[in-house]
Amino acid sequence: MVKKEILVLTEPGQLLRQAIQTEKPLQIVGTIHAYAARLAEASGHKALYLSGAGVANSRLALPDLAMTSLDDVVTEVTKITQASTLPLLVDADTGWGSPLNIRRTFSMLSKAGAAGAHIEDQTEAKRCGHRSGKKLVSTESMVGKIKAALDGRNSDSFMVMARTDAFAVEGLQGALERARTYEAAGADAIFVEALDSLDHYLQFTRALTIPVLANITEFGKTPLFSRESLAKVGVSMILYPLSAFRAMNQAALKVYEAILQQGTQQSVIPLMQTRDELYQYLQYENYEKELDEYNQLMEREDANN
């Protein structure tokens, strides 16, 4: 009897690709820090995302205007990938510089444990994808970015995703043509930003053979299409980049205001995670048990000496 070889997925990129195949479409939720990643995994999600805007907003209190560095992002990637076993997709913005820097960017992100990253075709002085005033690099320049990203990744399983912001600048046909060219250049997936109808998504999924990602971010250009509706038009991945972050911010603001205005936090206790819940997701008791075992071992060693 011939034994069947069982493929064990160990690389983050393999896990992400498998999740895309099994979850149709795959919902990818934004995790603004390591603890949020732990919460997302515990709730049953299969993939995580680190937003460039989220890093700028939450870590530096800056807008999404190309003011963060590669080191800022890699630091957060390392923290998240150490806290969660889920594959992490990362926003690499415009790549932080020349093709050589882009190659270094994708090398560092893959070494930090990310499963993939997307790079966009905006100019280096980029804007949020749902703001006006975006400017694009040439298609040829973006092809060079994709090639550099592919050369930089440490494993072929690491997903190099090409994001195009061309719909807002060059219209539907211009965006479709760019997406086809990016696929031909070797991109593993396409992130098409700020579409405003399901029919537009359908045109992209029909025009391409690689997975298409829909960015369903709140208060932006794209309606909040459901998972079911996006599945019907062939979308493979749905991104919710800052949903939890926005909820956290609103809850925190209400708490700060209540403490100042009411002199107590009593009215906003329902907004809070309890101490026991916090400890549960941190596996606090497990760490305490391990600490006690180490301390007992040290005490025995001291007694023997």
- Separation between Cα atoms, residue 173 and residue 204, nearest integer Å: 10
- 266 to 127, 247, 276: CA distances (angstroms): 40, 20, 18
3-state secondary structure of 104: helix
Q: Single out the catalytic residue among 64, 165, 183, 188.
A: 64
Cis peptide before 25 (omega within 30 of 0): yes
Q: Single out the catalytic residue among 33, 38, 118, 153.
A: 118
Q: Single out the catalytic residue among 93, 121, 165, 188.
A: 93
In the residue annotation, 93 being an active-site residue is answered as yes
User: Among 137, 150, 157, 134, which Cα is nearest to 184's?
Assistant: 150
In the residue annotation, 64 being an active-site residue is answered as yes
Strands 189-192 vs 237-240: parallel, antiparallel or unpaired: unpaired
- Separation between Cα atoms, residue 248 and residue 140, nearest integer Å: 40
Q: Single out the catalytic residue among 91, 121, 165, 188.
A: 91
Q: Single out the catalytic residue among 41, 183, 193, 240.
A: 193
In the residue annotation, 120 being an active-site residue is answered as yes
Q: Single out the catalytic residue among 17, 57, 121, 128.
A: 128
- Separation between Cα atoms, residue 164 and residue 183, nearest integer Å: 11
Cis peptide before 241 (omega within 30 of 0): no
178: exposed, middle or buried (Cβ count in 10 Å: 0-12, 13-18, 19+)? buried
Q: Single out the catalytic residue among 45, 121, 200, 215.
A: 215
**Cα distance from N-terminal residue to C-terminal residue, the chain:** 59
Q: Single out the catalytic residue among 120, 121, 183, 188.
A: 120
- Separation between Cα atoms, residue 200 and residue 222, nearest integer Å: 11
Region for residue 234 given its phi and psi (left: phi exceeds 0; alpha: psi -120 to 50; beta: otherwise): left
DSSP annotation of 122 reads: B
Total count of residues recorded for the chain: 305
In the residue annotation, 118 being an active-site residue is answered as yes
In the residue annotation, 277 being an active-site residue is answered as no
User: Among 161, 167, 235, 168, which Cα is nearest to 198's?
Assistant: 235
CA 51 to chain CA mean position, Å: 5
In the residue annotation, 140 being an active-site residue is answered as no
Q: Single out the catalytic residue among 17, 33, 49, 178.
A: 49
In the residue annotation, 104 being an active-site residue is answered as no
Catalytic site positions = 49, 64, 91, 93, 118, 120, 128, 163, 193, 215
